Amino acid sequence: MEIKKVGVAGCGLMGHGITQVSAEAGYEVVVTELDRERLDAGIGKISKQLGRAVEKGKLEQSDADAVLDRINPTLDQGEFADCDLVLEAITEDLDLKLDLWKQLSGIVKEGALFATNTSSLPVITQAATTDRPENFIGLHFFNPVQRMPLLEVIQSVASSPEAMAAGLAYGEKLNKTTVETKDKAGFIVNRLLVPYLLDGIRGLEEGIGSIEEIDLAMKAGAGHPMGPLTLADFVGLDTLDSIAGVMFDEFRERRFAAPPTLRKMVAAGFYGVKSGRGFYDYSGEKPVAVNPGL
């Protein structure tokens, strides 16, 4: 199963990054969106990053142009027909993903590999709605895709060894660090990271330290580049809450349960960096810790 042409559904935060790194690795890439505005916004981000690399002397203008030339942004899913790999990076909503796969099963050529970038939904549920569950794997990138080296390559109960081998080869061509894992909620990284972040919030609720003290302690004592409450703000408290919900449903263990403070902050619209307020207020020059009033 040789991959030459890649299709990416969704050109949001993750999709534009996957499109960019695939085109940089030499693949022809077809990328789709729901409307022209979002498609242009995603391609605009790629152009901007390539432009910055040229300004800094890290990339020749001709190479940046060649990367953009390899990308075909379109609103027509029919263009996925001759792709060797089609990867979805659309909104984390199972019904939307299932609809997409039903449509793509009738469009994409036989033998092509399908992959999902989901952070929390079971791979097999999506695979089972397609005409090729054995040719369906998880390819879980990390944000920002252009900078984070890891790619989790996920085998569902139905994925064939050939499909896994093709996914690993694609990841290696992107120069990613590939790690094989199984279709269990959270895979490897979120399985370990999510309970840790939730414990940071529970620690705050229990008064083991202030927001700044908990973050500082994990930076200075465990060598982490940022503390758990800062990291939770970066992940997005709404995203953390929804991943915790899926993991709790699967494992029924307290360590995966969203603490009340997280639930309440999400209800208040305090989503972290993206909304301007989470455990920190991001409206000023420097983030300032805001006690969520436990």
Ligand X SMILES: NC(=O)c1ccc[n+]([C@@H]2O[C@H](COP(=O)([O-])OP(=O)(O)OC[C@H]3O[C@@H](n4cnc5c(N)ncnc54)[C@H](O)[C@@H]3O)[C@@H](O)[C@H]2O)c1
- Residue whose structure tokens are 């705050």: 204
Chain positions 90 to 109 lying near ligand X, rule: CB under 6 A, are: 90-92, 96, 100
Please enumerate in sequence order all residues whose Cβ is within 8 A of that of 207, keeping only pairs 6 or more positions apart, or say none: none
Q: Establish if 119 lies at the interface with ligand X (CB under 6 A).
A: yes
Is residue 135 part of the annotated active site? The answer reads no
For ligand X, which is the closer residue by CB, 101 or 203? 101
Is residue 190 part of the annotated active site? The answer reads yes
Contact code string over 175-214 relative to ligand X, x by CB under 6 A: ----------------------------------------
Is residue 206 part of the annotated active site? The answer reads no
CB of 232 to ligand X, least distance (A): 12
Joined together, the tokens standing for residue 174 give 């992107």
Give the interface segment with ligand X, choosing from 126-134, 139-147, 158-166, 213-221 (CB under 6 A).
139-147
For ligand X, which is the closer residue by CB, 131 or 212? 131
242-250 CB contacts, 8 Å cutoff, 24+ apart:
242/92, 242/120, 243/119, 243/120, 243/186, 243/190, 243/194, 244/194, 244/198, 246/120, 246/121, 246/185, 247/120, 247/185, 247/186, 247/190, 247/191, 247/194, 249/185, 250/184, 250/185
Q: Which residue from 1, 28, 38, 282 is in contact with ligand X, where contact means CB under 6 A? A: 38
Q: Is 200 exposed, middle or buried (0-12, 13-18, 19+ CB in 10 A)?
A: buried
Binding site for ligand X (CB under 6 A): 9-10, 12-15, 32-34, 38, 89-92, 96, 100, 117-119, 140-143
Q: Which residues are catalytically annotated?
A: 119, 140, 152, 190
